[in-house]
Structure 1
């Protein structure tokens, strides 16, 4: 029961943060770390959109995972998360870099 309710909370949080970032209203989620160095290197608006899309995808995957119980589905969930993160890093390093 706890596992499923945690998945629902994580799903809602990821979807809300993802939509806020995607629409440009969640820039406060991007604060922290070395923001000046990141601002010099990356296009902040593109980075927000890409981060928002990834969070939405993670939220959808987590929501679907909340309804599955098989080991194969759990393995597929972890693989999907790694693929989303790998694509995020690729896009971040290729499309979001300032020129």
Structure 2
């Protein structure tokens, strides 16, 4: 399931929250179990994710931290911090 949510033409991670939402929408039929739960949580609570650790996201999604990290990797992010930065940028964009 590596890179399953990335666009076919690129393995770069989504650059915006809108791109992330679209990646998850397109890949939703491939998401199962815990990864689907994490995707639903992060899309429903973007401002919480901006400041929550991977462990906190896992607890709130009802999955393991490893599952959160697998989704982050599937989306093309190298680290949770780079994934989280997308949500922080969205928060800043919303305040402007």
Which bin holds the TM-score, normalised by the shorter protein? 0.3 to 0.5
Q: TM-score, normalized by length of structure 2? A: 0.32
Pick the structure with more helix per residue.
1
Q: TM-score, normalized by length of structure 1? A: 0.32
